Amino acid sequence: MNSKVRDYLMLFGVAGVLVALDQWTKWWVRENIEFGGQWLPESLLWLSPYARLVHWYNSGAAFGIFQNGNLVFTILAFIVVGAIVYYYPQVELNDWTLKLAMGMQLGGAVGNLIDRLIMQKVTDFISIGAFPVFNIADASISVGVAVLLVGVWLNEREEKLKAAQEPPGTEPPLESITESVKEG
C-alpha cells in the first residue's frame, strides 16, 4: 500500500472515529434529554454538582464563546479542514504525535461543522464543575492541541539530545544547510 494512502487512512481513521462518536453522543443527548435539562444515572447523582450531562446549544465557538457567530465559524471550519488535509502529507513520516493531533483536530472540526450545517448550532452536553459546557468535538480539538504541544516538546528534546551526542566541531552536511536556507 502506498505510504501516502496509509497516512491518509490514519488521518481519516482517527477523524472518522471521533466524528462518529461525537455525532452519536449528540444525537443521544437530543433524543433523551430535554433542552435545558440534565441527566445522570441514579447511582451517580452525588456527582451532580461536579459533572453531569446537559442539553444546550451553542451558536458560537468552543465552550460557548462568541455566540451568534455560526456563519463565521462554519467558514472557519471549512478552512481548517482544508488546511489539515492539504498540509497532512507534508508531516514527517515518523511524527506520529503531529499526525494524531491533526486527526483529532480534523475530527473535532468536522463534528461541529456537521451540526452547524444541519442545525445552525452545535449541541453541547458535557458539564464539569464551573467549566463551560462542551462536547466530544470540542474535547477532541483541545486534546489534539495538547498532543501537538507534547509532540513538539518531545521532538525538540530529541533534537537537543542528538546535538549533545555529536562530537564538538561537527558541522551538518552542506545539503542540510542548503535546505534550511531554501526553507527560511
Question: Is 124 annotated in the active site?
Answer: yes
The C-alpha atoms of residue 174 and residue 52 are separated, in whole angstroms, by 59
Nearest to 121 by CA among 112, 110, 132, 109: 112
User: What is the DSSP code (8-state) at residue 42?
Assistant: G
Distance CA 144, CA 80 (A): 13
Q: At what angle do helices 70-87 and 96-119 cross, to 10 degrees?
A: 150
Given 7, 22, 115, 124, which residue is catalytic? 124
Contact 58, 32 (CB under 8 A): no
Considering the candidates 7, 95, 115, 138, report the single residue annotated as catalytic. 138
Say whether 22 is catalytic: no
Residues annotated as part of the active site? 124, 138
